[in-house]
Structure 1
Amino acid sequence: MNISEGYEIRTIHHEVRSLHAQWAAFLAENGLREERVDFTLGIFGPDDTLAGTASLCGNIIKEVAVAAPLRGGPYTAALVSRLLAEAADRGHSNVMVFTRPEYGSLFKSLAFRPVGSSSGAVLMESDPRGLSTYLRSLSTLRRPGRNGVIVMNANPLTQGHLWLIRRAAARVDNLYIIPVADNDANEFTYEERIAVLRRSTASAGNVTVCPGSPYTVSASTFPSYFIKQVTDATDIHIALDLDIFARCIAPALGAVVRFAGSEPSDSLTARYNELMERILPESGIEVVVMERLECDGVAVSASAVRAAMRRPSGLAAVAKLSARESIPYVMAHMAVEALRSELATTPKPGLVDSHDSGAHRDMDFHLMQRGIDSLAPWFAAIAVAAWRGEPGAAIRALGVEAEAAMFRATGGVNTHKGALFCLGLTLAAACRLVAGGAMPSAAALQQAVAQEAAGFEQPEDTHGGVAIRRFGRGGALASAREGYARVYSSWVPFLRSLPGPDTDAARLLALLRIMSELDDSNILYRCGAAVADEVKARSLELSRQLEAHNVCEAMRVLNEEFAARGISPGGAADMLSLTLFIDKIIPT
Structure 2
Amino acid sequence: MNYNVEKLHLTNIEEVSEIRSFLSTFQLDYEKDIDYTVVIRDNNKIIATCSKAKDVLKGFAVNHSVQGEGITNLLITAIQDRLFQEGIFHSFIFTKPIYETTFKSFGYKVIASVEEVSLLEYGFNDIHKSLATMKKLYGVDSSIPKTALVMNCNPFTLGHRYLIEEASLKSEQVLVFIVEEDKSLFPFVDRYHMVKNGVADLKNVTVIPGGKYIISSATFPAYFLREETKVLSAYTKLDATVFSKYFCKQFNITKRMLGEEPYCPVTKNYNEALVSVLENHGVEVEVIPRKWIATPENYISASKVRNLIKKEGREALDKLSEFIPTITLNYLRSEEGKEVIKKIINSNTPH
Normalising by structure 2, we get a TM-score of 0.87
Q: Which amino acid aligns with 2:211?
A: S
Q: State the shift of 1:207 in Å.
A: 1.0
Q: 1:263 to 1:33 in 2, by over 3 A?
A: farther
Between the aligned partners of 2:218 and 2:344, the Cα distance in structure 1 is: 32
Q: Do the aligned partners of residues 82 and 234 (structure 1) sit closer, same or farther apart at CA in structure 2, a change above 3 Å counting?
A: same
Q: How far off is 1:24 after superposition?
A: 2.3
1:156-181 alpha-carbon deviations (Å, 9 max, x no partner): 11001011111122222111111101
Whose radius of gyration is greater, 1 or 2? 1
Paired residue type of 1:220: A
1:565 match: none
Does the 8 Å contact 1:112/1:128 carry over to 2? no
> For the Cα contact (< 8 Å) 1:142–1:253, is it kept in 2?
yes
Classify the secondary structure of the residue corresponding to 1:124: strand
Q: Does 1:219 align with 2:178?
A: no
Instruction: Say yes or no: does 1:308 pair with 2:308.
Output: yes
- Whether the aligned pair in 2 keeps the contact of 1:138 and 1:253 (CA below 8 Å) is no
How has the CA–CA distance of structure 1 residues 326 and 341 changed in structure 2, closer, same or farther, with 3 Å as cutoff?
closer
Report Cα offsets for 1:540-582 as digits up to 9, x if no partner. xxxxxxxxxxxxxxxxxxxxxxxxxxxxxxxxxxxxxxxxxxx
Partner of 2:166: 167
- How far apart, in 2, do the equivalents of 1:256 and 1:339 lie? 41
Deviation at 1:266, TM superposition (A): 3.4
The equivalent residue for 1:31 is: 27
Task: Please say if residues 221 and 231 of structure 2, whose CA atoms lie closer than 8 Å, have aligned partners that are also in contact.
Answer: no
The 5 A counterparts of 1:71-82 are 71-82=67-78
Kindly indicate whether the alpha-carbon contact (under 8 Å) linking 2:112 and 2:118 is maintained by their aligned counterparts in 1: yes
Question: Could you say which structure has the higher helix fraction?
Answer: 1
Match of 2:184 in 1: 186
Residue pair 2:186, 2:340 contacting (<8 A) in 1 also? no
Contact 1:8 1:45 in 2 (8 A): no
SS in 1 for 2:57: strand
Q: Which amino acid aligns with 2:331?
A: Y
The aligned counterpart of 2:39 is 42
Shift of 1:139: 4.1
> Could you say what secondary structure the match of 2:322 adopts?
helix
Match of 2:283?
A: 285
| 1:206 matched to 2:204 | yes
The CA RMSD over aligned residues, in Å, is 2.6
Structure 1 residue corresponding to 2:88, chosen from 92, 97, 100: 92
Aligned residues: 335
CA contact under 8 A between 1:181 and 1:212: conserved in structure 2? yes
- Structure 1 segments, 4+ long, off by >6 Å, are 338-342
Distance 2:342 2:131 in 1: 41
Equivalent residue, structure 2, for 1:566: none
Q: Structure 1 unaligned runs (5+)?
A: 345-501, 503-588
User: For the structure 1 residues 224 and 194, does the alpha-carbon distance in structure 2 shift closer, same or farther, using more than 3 Å as the test?
Assistant: farther
1:130 corresponds to: 126
| Distance in 1, Cα, partners of 2:146 & 2:62 | 45
User: Is 1:109–2:111 an aligned residue pair?
Assistant: no
| 1:241 aligned residue | 239
In the TM superposition, 1:475-514 aligns within 5 A as none
Deviation of the 1:15 alpha carbon: 3.7
Counterpart of 2:114 in structure 1: which amino acid?
Answer: S
Instruction: Say if 2:175 and 2:207, in contact at 8 Å, map to a contact too.
Output: yes
Bigger relative contact order, structure 1 or 2, given CA contacts below 8 A and separation 6+? 2
Tell me the equivalent position of 1:380. none
Following superposition, the deviation at residue 276 of structure 1 comes to 0.9
**Correspondence for 1:177:** 176
1:27: Cα distance to partner?
A: 2.3
Residues 227-266 of structure 1 aligned to structure 2 (within 5 Å): 230-266=228-264
Q: Which residue of 2 aligns with 1:321?
A: 323
Which amino acid letter does the alignment assign opposite residue 200 of structure 1?
A: G
In the TM superposition, residue 251 of structure 1 has moved relative to its aligned partner by 0.9
Residue type at the aligned position of 2:339: V
- Superposed CA offset, 1:178-224 (max 9, x none): 110123x2112221111111111211121111232111111101255
Q: In the aligned structure 2, how far is the partner of 1:69 from the partner of 1:13? A: 25
**Which residue, out of 195, 218, 230, partners 2:193?**
195
Q: Distance in 2 between matches of 1:259 and 1:190?
A: 21
1:129 Cα deviation from its structure 2 partner: 2.7
> Secondary structure of the residue that 1:170 maps to in structure 2?
helix
CA distance in 1, matches of 2:247, 2:342: 41
- Number of the residue aligned with 2:147: 148
The C-alpha deviation readout for 1:442-493, integer Å capped at 9, x for no partner, is xxxxxxxxxxxxxxxxxxxxxxxxxxxxxxxxxxxxxxxxxxxxxxxxxxxx
Q: Take 2:60 and 2:236, find their aligned partners in 1: how far apart are those partners?
A: 20
CA contact (8 A) 1:97 1:123 kept: yes
Q: Which amino acid aligns with 1:40?
A: T
Q: How far is 1:283 from its partner?
A: 0.9
Correspondence list, 1:451-530, <5 A: none
CA 328–14 in structure 1, closer or farther in 2 if over 3 Å, else same: same
Identity, in percent, stands at: 24
Give the letter for the 1:335 counterpart: K
Q: With structure 1 as the length reference, what TM-score do the two structures score?
A: 0.53
Secondary structure of 2:171's aligned partner: coil
Give the unaligned 5+ runs of structure 2. Answer: none
Determine if contact 1:230/1:268 at 8 Å carries over to the other structure. Answer: no
Asked if 1 retains the 8 angstrom alpha-carbon contact of 2:172 and 2:204, the reply is: yes
Aligned residue for 2:210, secondary structure, equals: coil
Q: How far apart in 2 are the matches of 1:194 and 1:167? A: 19
- CA separation in 1, counterparts of 2:269 and 2:202? 31
Higher strand proportion: 2
